[in-house]
Structure 1
Amino acid sequence: MKNILNSLDKAFENKVRLGIMSVLMVNDKIDFISLKDLLGVTDGNLASHLKNLEKKEYISFEKDFVDRKPNTTYKATLAGKNAFKAHIDAIEKLLNNK
């Protein structure tokens, strides 16, 4: 059991970061406003969790303009996808452990 617990990634222990990665695993990319609305969090809360995942290089972002307004989109990196899959696999092992 201890080895399984060591497989859990602390980056995904927070429900907002878990939500961010869950959304990015099933979407190629998503913009900040859509992600904020989907998760039901504040701008500042989301921004801090996105920054945390950026520092781990689990997500990347792109800034552009839509109708002259800044628009930031996020996507999961390959490292982020692999880390998240490993985290979910560890949870499944814990759930199936008899």
Structure 2
Amino acid sequence: MTTESGTPEPVGPALDDTIHHPTRLAVAAFLSACDEAEFAAVRDCCQVSDSVLSKTASALEAAGYVDIRKGYVGKRPRTWLSLTPEGHDALTRHLAALQNIATAAQNAGARARTEPAGPAAPPSDS
């Protein structure tokens, strides 16, 4: 987004619909800690099937968040996944937005605990 003057608006914490899905979030978080990971390592860590990880990686790649590289180790085909700089930024903003939501809820809960309750209900005539 840009302002009326044509300068880019600062991008702050915001939930990201692409990363918000639990499997995509787990994959992005895993990949954020390494330069590149083999498909099987990501699959095993995220505890998903090959087909689920394949669909997840494709969705993240379409968003520009993941690079998929195919090659061979010996004669065996392999696939490696890596988080792009855009993916790192999106994950960071998404996690910050989640933290903001959690902090706001905790602060509201703390205020509710310390504020006096509303007027007491009149006693019933039972």
Pairwise same-fold verdict (TM > 0.5): yes
Looking at structure 2, the residues matched to 24 and 40 of structure 1 have their Cα atoms a distance apart, in angstroms, of 14
Looking at structure 2, the residues matched to 84 and 13 of structure 1 have their Cα atoms a distance apart, in angstroms, of 9
Report 1 or 2 for greater relative contact order, CA contacts < 8 Å, sequence distance ≥ 6: 1
Is 1:12 the equivalent of 2:5? no
Looking at structure 2, the residues matched to 22 and 13 of structure 1 have their Cα atoms a distance apart, in angstroms, of 11
Looking at structure 2, the residues matched to 41 and 88 of structure 1 have their Cα atoms a distance apart, in angstroms, of 22
- Secondary structure, in 3 states, of the residue corresponding to 1:44? helix
Q: Which has the higher helix share?
A: 1
Is 1:95 the equivalent of 2:64? no
Query: Which 5+ residue runs of structure 1 have no aligned equivalent?
Result: 1-5
* 1:12-51 matches, cutoff 5 A: 12-51=19-58
Looking at structure 2, the residues matched to 13 and 81 of structure 1 have their Cα atoms a distance apart, in angstroms, of 14
Larger radius of gyration: 2
Is 1:84 the equivalent of 2:123? no
Looking at structure 1, the residues matched to 20 and 90 of structure 2 have their Cα atoms a distance apart, in angstroms, of 13
Query: Which 5+ residue runs of structure 2 have no aligned equivalent?
Result: 1-12, 108-126
What is the match of residue 71 of structure 2? 64
Q: How many aligned residue pairs are there? A: 93
Q: CA RMSD in A?
A: 1.2
When the two structures are superposed, what TM-score results if normalisation uses the length of structure 2? 0.70
Identity %: 25
What is the match of residue 59 of structure 2? 52
Deviation, 1:96, is 1.2
Question: Structure 1 residue runs of 4+, over 3 Å off?
Answer: none
